């Protein structure tokens, strides 16, 4: 009997660790599942962290050690590639292709080495007795809890093709919104980069030349305040540019460290939701993500408490995540979902009323999807209006900055010409 260490999820989605004795890896998986656990990782006891145990078919269940590439050298799977994989998998399974054959087909044509390797390991895991959801859960960097739990619900309900189609639709809508935001922000970002480039050129090349001229012609007289400010800023950029970069780097590091703490993350996310111009967009996008994720999970047959736990971890905003935790606790005590949603003060009245109607009619998943569609439309409109606001603001910003530098350089010239005329 061999000893295996395992990591698994219990019925509530909580991670548990333990050891089990079994003849081989497939038997270990079966015994863990008998305990009503959902295994996500199984290793032979005593294995090093740099290796992974793989079961080879036709070798009597023997375990072979395979050296894994260090994490920092491994590529990442982009969301667009994952969306394509999900859609293709849904099409193949819906066409009646066996799961193993579908995985092998996608593995052969996959160009991303990280996803290709993951597909190979998933196929081997399924061959050794694991379910598709368990095989997915062994790759948390690629497939998140939302993906894994939806597939698990699809396997249990015998509607894997339907669940994969819904997952693909969910990912495609998320990609569509992300693409619209990116394309809308392209022009403002280009203008901002050009503005910063022009500013640095003026401050590091043009202003220092005028500084020398003014020092000779002013004859020791003091320069106007605005001119002195521009000269000092130029001098700092020219002679202390590395210090400026270090200060900016330290500020970024501090913000990232603050964002890693629960309180700091909550404060930053609160600011994002109420920030001028961008706040409305972030808020609507977060609400859309919450309702679509919850609606997709519930329509796939995932129990409401487990669905709320998953949403809490995948919503991407600490303020909404805490609100979801409150909703989870209230529903656990037997309450409806609408009252805690209303008391959280995070969601607008329209969301509360539609959730209430959904609970009363027994069509909550469909109602949540309708809310998400409505907010996706609002996000499209918000992106368009935000772009129309940002463009003139950036042009005004560039005009003010360049105009300030020009005025700062012009004022001493007026003083010098006046002195010469006198």
79-171 and 173-422: identical CATH topology: yes
Q: In the beta sheet, which residues pair with residue 63?
A: 55
- Tens digits of per-residue pLDDT, 285-302? 888 888 888 888 888 777
Predicted confidence at residue 148, as pLDDT, reads 84
Beta bridge partners of 52: 66
* pLDDT score for 12: 58
Strand partners, 64: 54
User: What is the CATH superfamily name and number for domain 79-171?
Assistant: Type II secretion system (T2SS), domain F (1.20.81.30)
Whether 70 has a pLDDT exceeding 80, the answer reads: no
Q: And the tokens for 39?
A: 């295994």
What is the spatial distance between Cα 116 and Cα 106, in angstroms, rounded to a whole number? 8
Sequence ranges of the domains in the chain:
2-68, 79-171, 173-422
- What pLDDT does 250 receive? 93
- Assign a CATH topology to domain 173-422: Receptor-associated Protein (1.20.81)
């949403």: which residue's tokens? 311
As assigned by CATH, the class of the 2-68 domain is alpha beta
pTM above 0.85, yes or no: no
Per-residue pLDDT tens for 140-161? 888 887 788 778 877 877 778 8
Helix/strand/coil for 270: helix
Q: For 45-131, where are the alpha helices, taking DSSP H only?
A: 79-94, 99-109, 113-127
């Amino acid at each position: 009997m061999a000893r295996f260490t395992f990591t698994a999820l219990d019925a509530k989605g909580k991670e548990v660790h333990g050891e089990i004795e079994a003849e081989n890896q497939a038997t270990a998986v079966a015994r863990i599942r008998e305990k009503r656990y959902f295994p996500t990782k199984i290793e032979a006891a005593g294995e090093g962290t740099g290796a992974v145990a793989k079961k080879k078919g036709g070798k009597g269940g023997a375990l072979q050690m395979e050296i894994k590439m260090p994490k920092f050298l491994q590529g990442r799977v982009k969301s667009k590639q994952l969306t394509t994989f999900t859609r293709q998998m849904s099409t193949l399974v819906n066409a009646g292709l066996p799961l193993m054959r579908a995985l092998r087909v996608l593995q052969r044509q996959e160009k991303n080495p990280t996803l290709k390797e993951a597909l190979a390991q998933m196929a081997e895991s399924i061959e050794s007795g694991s379910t598709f959801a368990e095989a997915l859960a062994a790759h948390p960097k690629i497939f998140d809890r939302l993906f894994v739990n939806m597939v698990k619900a699809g396997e249990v309900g015998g509607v894997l093709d339907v669940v994969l189609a819904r997952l693909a639709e969910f990912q495609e809508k998320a990609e569509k919104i992300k693409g619209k935001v990116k394309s809308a922000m392209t022009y403002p970002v280009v203008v901002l980069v050009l503005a910063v480039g022009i500013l640095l050129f003026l401050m590091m090349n043009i202003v220092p030349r005028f500084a020398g001229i003014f020092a000779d012609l002013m004859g020791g007289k003091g320069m106007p305040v605005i001119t002195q400010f521009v000269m000092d800023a130029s001098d700092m950029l020219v002679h202390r540019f590395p210090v400026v970069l270090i200060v900016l780097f330290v500020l970024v590091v501090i913000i990232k460290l603050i964002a890693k703490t629960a309180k700091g993350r909550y404060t930053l996310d609160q600011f994002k939701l109420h920030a001028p111009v961008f706040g409305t967009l972030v808020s609507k996008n977060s609400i859309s993500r919450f309702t679509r994720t919850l609606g997709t999970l519930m329509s796939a047959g995932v129990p409401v408490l487990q669905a709320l736990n998953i949403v809490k971890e995948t919503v991407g905003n600490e303020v909404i995540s805490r609100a979801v935790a409150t909703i989870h606790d209230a529903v656990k005590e037997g309450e409806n979902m609408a009252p805690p949603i209303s008391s959280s003060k995070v969601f607008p009245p329209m969301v509360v009323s539609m959730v209430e109607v959904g609970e009363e009619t027994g069509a909550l998943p469909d109602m949540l999807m309708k809310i998400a569609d409505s907010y996706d439309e609002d996000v499209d409109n918000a992106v368009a209006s935000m772009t129309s606001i940002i463009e003139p603001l950036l042009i005004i910003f560039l005009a003010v900055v360049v105009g300030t530098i020009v005025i700062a350089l012009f004022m001493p010239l007026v003083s010098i010409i006046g002195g010469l005329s006198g």
